[in-house]
């Protein structure tokens, strides 16, 4: 697309001169309009981070850049039909006006992608991307909490502790209060950690807490003369049934204050030890799931393993026997007294064969839905060189 030059300076000047001479516009109004237009151009350039030069106001560049950043607004997730690498906005090159693309293909990532708030972006042509710099994305991701019933009046982001203890000087254990929401958030965290530790063939899931959510302790806690400092932690185990999490703390003693109603929250995108980086996760072979289900299992933002509905399967005896248990008359358990014994004839569970009505079963390592394969993108909002 080429921006048209709608007014030459000569034509524009002649038009304004004609209006002044005709009395339809005063010279004062003319200059007021010029000043207002200049302010609007300057504001638009500033918002789009486009630098005007002596060759013109770069109005097309400004409009194009703002349009692309609206399409790729920060935190937006959408689908496209192919891989497209991030492209930074380069003020020194006109070639980026149309190719500019501030977004990350989550379907192409093999693991997590770190986003930085300092330095310069580099190595963006293929995965893994060397460095993506986007301060706005870091701020948003670091602030995003795992939330029960997000958007509803009963939403919950902070979860109250019941007891806490330290063993061996550096191993802390927190026990959360008895609460349905707390059980749900801990179960969701366990699921996310399991996804993080999945093998490539999805046959084995070993929780990987380093690549999952970060727990934030809002206040320092003192127990037995040892302090559990406030801050971000990588958990080493979680049990939603007993509502406990275990993590490692620094070997510090008696600093801080005892919290009367201490609470924890969970930040999926934070990186422990850094305030200038955040991360997003790969989305290979995954579908999007709506949050806020009635069972409180789909907690945003979180990942889940595949599964299928619990069921029972028919058991058919082999041979001519039609019962699996027999009883001897006159023994305990029989109608007249007696005991039961298992038939010696072998019995097997029915295999996943056709039931003649629904076709041949399709099997694999995961339970899948009918789908169309696409690439998921996560919008950065802006991506400067």
CB 41 within 8 A of CB 57: yes
Question: Cα(209)–Cα(238) distance, rounded to whole angstroms?
Answer: 9
Q: What is the pLDDT of residue 89?
A: 87
d(CA 228, CA 254): 9
Q: Are 230 and 218 in contact (CB under 8 A)?
A: yes
pLDDT in tens, 70-122: 999 999 999 999 999 999 987 776 667 789 999 999 999 988 999 999 999 99
Window from 62-66, 98-102, 266-270 with minimum mean pLDDT: 62-66
pTM of the model: 0.77
Domain range summary for the chain, segments of one domain joined by +: 15-64, 159-268
Q: Which residues pair with 221 in a beta bridge?
A: 228
- Write out pLDDT tens, residues 298-320: 898 899 988 877 766 666 655 55
| DSSP characters over 14-37 | HHHHHHHHHTSS-HHHHHHHHHHH
């Amino acid at each position: 697309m080429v921006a048209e030059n709608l007014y030459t300076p000569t034509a524009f000047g002649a038009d304004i001169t004609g209006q002044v001479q005709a009395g339809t516009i005063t010279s004062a109004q003319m200059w007021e309009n010029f000043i207002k237009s200049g302010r609007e151009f300057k504001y638009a350039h500033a918002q789009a981070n486009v630098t005007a030069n002596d060759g013109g106001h770069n109005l097309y560049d400004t409009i194009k850049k703002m349009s692309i950043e609206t399409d790729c607004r920060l935190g937006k997730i959408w689908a496209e039909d192919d891989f497209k690498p991030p492209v930074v906005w380069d003020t020194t090159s006109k070639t980026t006006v149309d190719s500019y693309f501030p977004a990350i293909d989550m379907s192409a990532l093999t693991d997590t992608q770190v986003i930085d708030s300092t330095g310069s972006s580099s190595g963006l042509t293929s995965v893994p991307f060397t460095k993506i710099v986007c301060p706005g994305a870091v701020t948003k991701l670091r602030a995003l909490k795992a939330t029960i019933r997000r958007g509803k009046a009963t939403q919950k982001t902070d979860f109250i502790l019941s007891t806490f203890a330290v063993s061996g000087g550096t191993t802390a254990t927190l026990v959360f209060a008895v609460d349905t929401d707390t059980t749900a958030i801990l179960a969701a965290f366990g699921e996310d950690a399991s996804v993080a530790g999945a093998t490539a063939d999805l046959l084995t899931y070993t929780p990987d807490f380093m690549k999952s959510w970060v727990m934030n302790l809002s206040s320092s806690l003192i127990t037995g003369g040892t302090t559990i400092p406030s801050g971000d932690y990588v958990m080493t185990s979680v049990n939603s049934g007993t509502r406990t999490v275990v993590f490692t703390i620094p070997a510090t003693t008696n600093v801080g204050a005892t919290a009367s109603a201490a609470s924890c929250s969970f930040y999926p995108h934070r990186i422990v030890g850094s305030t200038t980086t955040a991360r997003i996760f790969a989305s290979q072979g995954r579908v999007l799931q709506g949050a806020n289900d009635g069972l409180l299992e789909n907690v945003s933002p979180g990942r889940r393993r595949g599964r299928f509905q619990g069921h029972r399967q028919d058991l058919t005896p082999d041979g001519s026997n039609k019962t699996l248990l027999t009883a001897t008359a006159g023994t305990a358990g029989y109608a007249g007294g007696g005991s039961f014994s298992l038939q010696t004839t072998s019995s097997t569970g029915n295999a996943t064969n056709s039931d003649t009505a629904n076709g041949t079963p399709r099997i694999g390592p995961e339970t899948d839905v009918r789908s169309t394969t696409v690439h998921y993108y996560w919008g950065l909002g802006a991506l400067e060189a």
